[in-house]
């Protein structure tokens, strides 16, 4: 038993265990990942098949492929189809493997911020992350979002380790998977500009910012100065308003819904006069920009008329008055953010990332509950540090700088 306990504390044992699990996933993928395609998975798979016919980067393929997302996932999917054939089971196995690695890395990040003496709270956060319905769904379906999340978590891990060149590299890979990851390099730039300008002069930090820009710039040039390929979807985007403040409003509402179990830890702070006053003030934004179904989906002829599972639940409970339910959660979520920003200077970078993420979503063409996945790795450490039972400087995991 003592030997087992010692092994469980060794990083190499964790890595071996994860590798074994991944091998088993691919060994049994033909059996337990064999089910019909669902939702957007169908056209993502078709794009992967299209990329499998062009294994070397082709300007024509990159210029006009029929998606809005950046192409890295489709190249990876095409590579998998080239190796394993066109059975989607193995590509789903890749997503499940990426999900497992993501959880492991995120757990290490939580350890860094709150310390090994409070791992019960890290387990609680990870459990909440896993049961987030879009995480479990994306883990077994062929969507690019999970690979983007994986690179974001790697970039955050590199940030807390002080590995700034790796931060830039992983940011670049995340952006090449989904453009939503642009909020990370924007966060880094704002952090240096406002908080840590002197350190920005270090060459490794400068290159850490330049790397993702240099990785994404060739695609922007291929796309004629745009952020997505030249296709029908981009033409529709010209019809959609450039700024949609209802998107961050909706995300704040849905965030409160999904994080409700963790937020209950701070119910006393939520009912404080200051938080209540600020939350009531924040209602103004909801009244000015109430959430509504995505115009983009309507224009492409989709029959989806909700913004995600949270929106569906509000309709189920409140019927045609679903905005009342969303307003309740928005007020709660706004107060939750007010409390979250009291979590201390050690997570200032994370708090800036949360704000940048919400603001940048106002410039998106649509929103969805699943986009919260990309910001959860920044929210969860703030929640844990905010907990009164956790002292921020207590017994943290030591990450070596390099």
Picking from 240, 261, 304, the residue whose alpha carbon sits closest to that of residue 40 is 304
Where does the pLDDT of residue 396 fall: very low under 50, low under 70, confident under 90, or very high at 90 and above?
A: very low
Residues near 93 by beta carbon (within 8 Å), at least 6 away in sequence: 25, 26, 29, 33
Same domain as 223, residue 99: yes
State pLDDT tens for residues 191-247: 888 877 777 777 788 888 899 999 999 999 988 888 788 777 667 766 777 788 999
pLDDT score of 170 more than 90? yes
Same domain as 298, residue 213: no
Where does the pLDDT of residue 53 fall: very low under 50, low under 70, confident under 90, or very high at 90 and above?
A: confident
Same domain as 76, residue 216: yes
165 part of a folded domain: yes
Section 162-181 average pLDDT: 93
pLDDT score of 365 more than 60? yes
Q: Can you give the pLDDT at residue 157?
A: 93
82 part of a folded domain: yes
For CA atoms 299, 301, 302, 306, the dihedral sign is positive
- Rounded-to-integer distance, Cα 159 and Cα 365, Å: 29
pLDDT score of 72 more than 80? yes
Same domain as 280, residue 199: no
Where does the pLDDT of residue 31 fall: very low under 50, low under 70, confident under 90, or very high at 90 and above?
A: confident
Picking from 101, 102, 37, 44, the residue whose alpha carbon sits closest to that of residue 75 is 44
49 part of a folded domain: yes
Q: Can you give the pLDDT at residue 197?
A: 73
pLDDT score of 390 more than 50? no
Q: Can you give the pLDDT at residue 307?
A: 87
Same domain as 259, residue 208: no
Same domain as 252, residue 207: no
| Residue at which a domain ends, from 227, 260, 289 | 227
Where does the pLDDT of residue 103 fall: very low under 50, low under 70, confident under 90, or very high at 90 and above?
A: very high
Mean pLDDT in the chain? 81
Cα dihedral 246→182→376→130 (10° resolution) = 110
Q: Can you give the pLDDT at residue 266?
A: 66
pLDDT score of 76 more than 50? yes
Section 276-296 average pLDDT: 82
- DSSP per position, 290-321: -----HHHHHTT----SSSHHHHHHHHHHGGG
Q: Can you give the pLDDT at residue 373?
A: 92
- Rounded-to-integer distance, Cα 17 and Cα 114, Å: 25
Same domain as 305, residue 210: no
1 part of a folded domain: no
Same domain as 175, residue 60: yes
58 part of a folded domain: yes
Find the domain containing 340 and state its range: 239-386
Q: Can you give the pLDDT at residue 262?
A: 74
Q: Can you give the pLDDT at residue 387?
A: 66
pLDDT score of 372 more than 90? yes
State pLDDT tens for residues 303-336: 778 888 999 999 998 888 888 988 988 888 888 7
Count how many domains the chain has.
2
CB–CB of 402/161 below 8 Å? yes
Residue with tokens 């989607």: 88
Q: Can you give the pLDDT at residue 183?
A: 93
Number of alpha carbons in the 13 Å side-chain half-sphere of residue 28? 8
Residues near 390 by beta carbon (within 8 Å), at least 6 away in sequence: 114, 115, 118, 121, 384
pLDDT score of 73 more than 90? yes
Same domain as 199, residue 248: no
Same domain as 166, residue 105: yes
State pLDDT tens for residues 78-100: 888 888 877 888 889 889 989 99
- Rounded-to-integer distance, Cα 372 and Cα 292, Å: 18
pLDDT score of 27 more than 50? yes
pLDDT score of 395 more than 50? no
401 part of a folded domain: no
pLDDT score of 8 more than 60? no
14 part of a folded domain: no
10 part of a folded domain: no
| Residue at which a domain ends, from 227, 255, 276 | 227
- Rounded-to-integer distance, Cα 189 and Cα 183, Å: 10
CB–CB of 278/334 below 8 Å? yes
Q: In this prediction, what percent of the chain has a pLDDT beyond 70?
A: 84
Q: Can you give the pLDDT at residue 389?
A: 45
Q: Give the relative orientation of helices 145-161 and 376-386 as an angle to the nearest 10 degrees.
A: 50
Same domain as 141, residue 288: no
- Rounded-to-integer distance, Cα 319 and Cα 123, Å: 36
Helices (H), 115-196: 119-131, 133-138, 145-161, 164-175, 183-194
- Rounded-to-integer distance, Cα 29 and Cα 93, Å: 6
Q: Can you give the pLDDT at residue 9?
A: 58
Q: How many Cβ atoms from other residues are within 10 Å of residue 201's Cβ?
A: 9
Where does the pLDDT of residue 148 fall: very low under 50, low under 70, confident under 90, or very high at 90 and above?
A: very high
Q: Can you give the pLDDT at residue 397?
A: 40
The model carries a pTM of: 0.89
Picking from 291, 287, 304, 283, the residue whose alpha carbon sits closest to that of residue 251 is 291
Residue with tokens 């189809």: 81
Same domain as 186, residue 245: no
């Amino acid at each position: 038993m003592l030997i087992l306990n010692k092994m469980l504390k060794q990083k190499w044992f964790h890595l071996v265990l994860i590798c074994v699990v991944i091998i088993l996933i691919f060994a049994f993928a033909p059996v337990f990942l064999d089910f019909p395609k669902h939702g957007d998975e169908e056209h993502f798979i078709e794009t992967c098949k299209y990329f499998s016919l062009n294994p070397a980067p082709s300007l024509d393929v990159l210029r006009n492929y029929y998606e809005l997302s950046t192409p890295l996932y489709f190249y990876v999917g095409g590579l998998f189809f080239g190796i394993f054939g066109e059975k989607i089971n193995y590509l789903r196995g890749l997503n499940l493997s990426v999900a497992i690695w993501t959880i492991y890395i995120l757990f290490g990040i939580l350890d860094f911020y709150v310390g090994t003496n409070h791992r019960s709270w890290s387990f609680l956060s990870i459990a909440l992350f896993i049961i987030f319905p879009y995480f479990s769904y994306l883990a077994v379906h062929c969507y690019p979002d999970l690979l983007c999340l994986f690179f974001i978590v790697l970039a955050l891990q590199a940030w807390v380790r002080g590995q700034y060149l790796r931060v830039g590299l992983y940011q670049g890979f995340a952006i090449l998977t989904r453009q939503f990851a642009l909020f990370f390099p924007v966060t880094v730039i704002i952090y240096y500009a406002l908080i840590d300008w002197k350190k920005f002069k270090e060459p490794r930090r400068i290159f850490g910012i330049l790397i993702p820009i240099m990785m994404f710039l060739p695609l922007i040039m291929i796309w004629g100065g745009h952020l997505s390929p030249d296709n029908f979807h981009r033409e529709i985007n010209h019809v959609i308003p450039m700024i949609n403040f209802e998107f961050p409003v909706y995300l704040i509402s849905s965030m409160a819904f999904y994080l409700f179990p963790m937020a209950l830890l701070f119910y006393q702070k939520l009912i404080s006069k200051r938080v209540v006053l600020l939350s009531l003030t924040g209602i103004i934004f909801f009244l000015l920009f109430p959430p509504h179904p995505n115009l983009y989906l309507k224009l492409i002829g989709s029959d989806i008329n909700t913004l995600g599972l949270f929106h569906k639940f509000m309709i189920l409970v409140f019927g045609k008055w679903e905005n009342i339910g969303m307003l309740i959660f928005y007020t709660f979520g706004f107060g939750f953010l007010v409390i979250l920003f009291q979590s201390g200077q050690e997570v200032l970078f994370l708090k800036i990332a949360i704000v940048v993420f919400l603001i940048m979503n106002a410039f998106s063409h649509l929103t969805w509950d699943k986009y919260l996945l990309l910001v959860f790795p920044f929210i969860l450490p703030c929640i844990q540090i905010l907990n009164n039972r956790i002292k921020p400087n207590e017994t943290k995991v030591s990450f070596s700088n390099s």
